[in-house]
Amino acid sequence: MAYALFDTALGRCGLAWSDAGTTAVGLPESDYRNRMTHSLNTCMASANRKFRGALAARLGQPGAAQAVGGALGRNPVPIVIPCHRVLGAGCEVGGFSAPDGASTKEKILSIEGVTGFGEPTLF
C-alpha cells in the first residue's frame, strides 16, 4: 500500500491507496475526529450505509449521534471520507456539505447502488 503525508492549511494530512483506490485518509485535529475518520475509513471498501448512532457507539459514545452528525458536517473532503454513507435513524438522509445538500447525497447513494436510494417506488 502506498501513502503520502502532506501539509495543508488544516495541518498535516495523509492519504493511502492501493490498486483498488483510496484506502485511508488521515486528517489533523482532535482525537475524536481522528477516531471518527478511522471509523469512516472502514466504510470506504463497500457502499454500505452506516448510521450516526452506530458510528457514535463504535467510537465508545453511544449517545453522541448528534455530535457525529456535526463532525460529519465539517468534513472538508466529503467524497474522499465517505460521510455521505452515514445516515440518521430510520434512513434519514440529514444534511450534506456539497452543493444541493441532501439531494446530492441521495444521488451519490443511488449511483453507488445503496439499497433504498434510486429504486422505483409505488408512491
Cell of 122: 409505488
- A 10 A CB-CB count for 63 gives 9
Q: Is 83 a catalytic residue?
A: yes
Of the candidates 13, 43, 83, 91, the residue annotated as catalytic is: 83
Q: Are 17 and 2 a contacting pair, CB within 8 Å? A: yes
How far apart are the two ends of the chain, measured CA to CA in Å?
A: 47
Sign of the CA dihedral running 106, 29, 44, 89: negative
Q: Output DSSP code: residue 121.
A: -
Catalytic residue set = 83
